[in-house]
Amino acid sequence: MPRPATAPRRSRWRKPGSRSGPPTCSASPWPRKPRSCSATTRRHAPTTRTSWTSTRKNRARGWSSTVPAKEATPTSCPCSAGRRPNTWPAGARDPMITSPLALATLIAGCTALAFWLDYRFPALGKLGASMMAIIFGAILSNTGLVPVSSPVYDAVLGPVTSVSIAWLLLSVDLRDLARAGWRMTGAFGIAVLGTVLGAFTAAMLYGGRFGDDTWRIAGALTGTYSGGSVNFVAVGREVGLTGTLFAGLNAADAVVTALWLGATIMLPIWLGRFYAPVPAPAPPAVSPFAGGGPAAGIDGRGPASPTLDADDSSEAERHRQHPYFTREGLSALAIGNLVAAGLILVFASEWLGEAVPQVPSIVWLTLLALALGHSPLFRDARGAMQLGSVGLHFFFVLIGILSRASEIAAVGVDVFFFTVIVVAVHGVVVFGAGKLLRLDIGTVAVASQAAVGGPSSALAVAISRDWRHLVLPGVVVGLFGYAVGNFLGLGVAALLR
């Protein structure tokens, strides 16, 4: 029997939202075939993804290169069930470089480029190799060249950084404090006290802005402005600074340290008449990083290097005295001993940290490294500072990779003023106490820069003002800051927590 002409023709397509027929995808503007929709073949389950980290300790600290997946929420489109979620930022394409070997090559290349630019161009040297390494890493990440997670990142965040800290601590010789003299040692102690007071002051003023991160920031800044970058990294990892906050804080630290370097060079000119005169220089001494001579430190620890000549103030001479660019005479046996000692120290500190959880593993690492460095079993630490510096700059490149420009800019202003307050209070305390104690302006300026910028910055101030007799004492107390910076940083963080 023929169908009536008025009956509608049956179509195999259905408009979205129709009440009859098989369900269709309401999120798509185009009609779909009923059989192609996942609603007819799957349950409407939320999309989930399980994130992972390489180590339990990195997970507890928040130092994981893996970006955690967003919490699963019921999807409005049942057709998307079972699809792999996109963890790369919206609008970004897939990374171009994913091979672990290629990523390791990039990190090493960025580190070498940062050191070369620091050595070759004095203007970029003021920025510092560490800040340039972070910038290079941020460029790689924000342009989409590298992924946001990789096993290479986990290796750098974990054992590579820990071994680098151990090597840098092995290079510290506390017996050289006797050569610094009581005036420089006392001035450095006042400078460190000023840093601690500055951290407490900034924490009180900015406690409401940063919330639970206030004590973390204060601890990390106390560590770096008592010792150096090694303490900044060690304390930051232990207290659980996030990658973005770490990068923003390091950027603020680089700017403020550069400003304070200029201040410690110019303040003696402006304020020198209010202080005791700088003592007459002693005979020229060998660089504290040099070896083979009586001024090379106890037991001649350090490589051979020419003496500091008062008439030679060229950039080549300054580079030759810089710890990053000093040439070391090492044998395969010495390198093997350093590698073995670093790995043993890291393993022992991690084991003790788990056995005695009340004491952080970084404290055990500091104590064990200082004890081994001063024991008869390990008398020669040549090359430890250089190896540790390279490994530490691998970490700086990775911090840049794990950072987003927009996130750094969002925290940059407040972090910058937090850092300014710490250094400003430090300066008031050290220069004020130096005046009351009748210390000369040269000793005060070099001690302050040894605390804020580290031994290399103290060396730069002493050479720029032609205080050659303050080079060795300034660098010695700067190296001593490496030994105490971790304890002070963690102590301040614990008190503010």
Per residue in 136-165, pLDDT (tens digit) is 988 988 888 988 788 999 899 888 988 988
DSSP 300: G
User: Would the pLDDT of 291 be above 90?
Assistant: no
- The answer to whether 289 touches 266, Cβ cutoff 8 Å, is no
In sequence order, the β-bridge partners of residue 440 are 276
CA distance 342 to 338: 6
Locate 86 and state its tokens: 């996109």
pLDDT tens sequence across 256-290: 887 888 888 888 888 878 887 777 655 444 444 44
Report the pLDDT value the prediction gives residue 493, as an integer from 0 to 100: 93
Q: Around Cβ 440, how many Cβ atoms within 10 Å? A: 20
Question: What are the distances in angstroms from CA 442 to CA 1, 262, 295, 308?
Answer: 113, 14, 21, 18
What is the number of residues in the chain?
Answer: 497
Contacts of 251 (CB under 8 A, 6+ apart): 131, 134, 408, 412
> Closest Cα partner for 118 from 299, 324, 289?
324
Q: Which of 66-70, 210-214, 340-344 is predicted with the least confidence, judged by mean pLDDT?
A: 66-70
Q: How confident is the model at residue 25 (pLDDT cuts 50, 70, 90)?
A: very low
Higher-scoring residue by pLDDT: 176, 118: 118
Dihedral angle over CA of 427, 457, 111, 167, nearest 10: -100
Locate 253 and state its tokens: 């630290």
CA 497 remoteness from chain centre? 21
Report the pLDDT value the prediction gives residue 328, as an integer from 0 to 100: 67
CA distance 162 to 151: 16
- The answer to whether 15 touches 57, Cβ cutoff 8 Å, is no
Structural domain boundaries of the chain?
Answer: 100-496
Higher-scoring residue by pLDDT: 126, 309: 126
User: Would the pLDDT of 399 be above 70?
Assistant: yes
- The answer to whether 52 touches 104, Cβ cutoff 8 Å, is no
In sequence order, the β-bridge partners of residue 286 are 307
User: Would the pLDDT of 43 be above 70?
Assistant: no
User: Would the pLDDT of 200 be above 50?
Assistant: yes
CA distance 466 to 311: 9
Rg (the chain; Cα; Å): 28
Cβ-in-10-Å burial (0-12, 13-18, 19+) of 127 comes to middle
Query: Mean pLDDT, the chain, as a whole number?
Result: 74
**E-strand spans in 168-303?**
none
Report the pLDDT value the prediction gives residue 42, as an integer from 0 to 100: 42
CA distance 141 to 146: 6
**Average pLDDT estimate for 392-402:** 84
Question: What are the distances in angstroms from CA 275 to CA 269, 450, 461, 462?
Answer: 11, 20, 18, 17
User: Would the pLDDT of 72 be above 70?
Assistant: no
Q: Around Cβ 68, how many Cβ atoms within 10 Å? A: 13
User: Would the pLDDT of 31 be above 70?
Assistant: no
CA distance 304 to 295: 11
**Average pLDDT estimate for 208-233:** 88
CA 405 remoteness from chain centre? 17
Amino acid, res. 263: A
User: Would the pLDDT of 91 be above 80?
Assistant: no
pLDDT tens sequence across 427-486: 999 999 999 998 989 999 999 999 998 887 787 788 777 787 887 788 888 888 888 898
Report the pLDDT value the prediction gives residue 110, as an integer from 0 to 100: 93
**Average pLDDT estimate for 284-308:** 38
Report the pLDDT value the prediction gives residue 401, as an integer from 0 to 100: 85
Residue 304 gets the label, from left (phi > 0), alpha (psi -120 to 50) or beta, of: beta
pLDDT tens sequence across 327-378: 667 788 888 888 999 999 999 999 998 898 878 788 888 889 888 888 877 7
The structure's pTM equals 0.60
Higher-scoring residue by pLDDT: 403, 215: 215
Q: How confident is the model at residue 384 (pLDDT cuts 50, 70, 90)?
A: confident
Report the pLDDT value the prediction gives residue 444, as an integer from 0 to 100: 93
**Average pLDDT estimate for 83-99:** 57
**Average pLDDT estimate for 207-225:** 89
User: Would the pLDDT of 309 be above 90?
Assistant: no
Share of the chain above pLDDT 70, in %: 68
> Closest Cα partner for 186 from 480, 491, 493?
480
Report the pLDDT value the prediction gives residue 353, as an integer from 0 to 100: 86
CA distance 238 to 216: 9
Higher-scoring residue by pLDDT: 48, 412: 412
- The answer to whether 473 touches 461, Cβ cutoff 8 Å, is no
User: Would the pLDDT of 306 be above 80?
Assistant: no
User: Would the pLDDT of 418 be above 60?
Assistant: yes
Share of the chain above pLDDT 90, in %: 21
- The answer to whether 210 touches 493, Cβ cutoff 8 Å, is no
User: Would the pLDDT of 89 be above 70?
Assistant: no
For the ranges 9-13, 145-149, 176-180, 254-258, the one whose mean pLDDT is highest: 145-149
CA distance 113 to 365: 30
Report the pLDDT value the prediction gives residue 6, as an integer from 0 to 100: 56
Q: How confident is the model at residue 126 (pLDDT cuts 50, 70, 90)?
A: low
At 185, give phi and psi (nearest 5°): -65, -45
User: Would the pLDDT of 197 be above 90?
Assistant: yes
User: Would the pLDDT of 219 be above 90?
Assistant: yes
Q: How confident is the model at residue 9 (pLDDT cuts 50, 70, 90)?
A: low
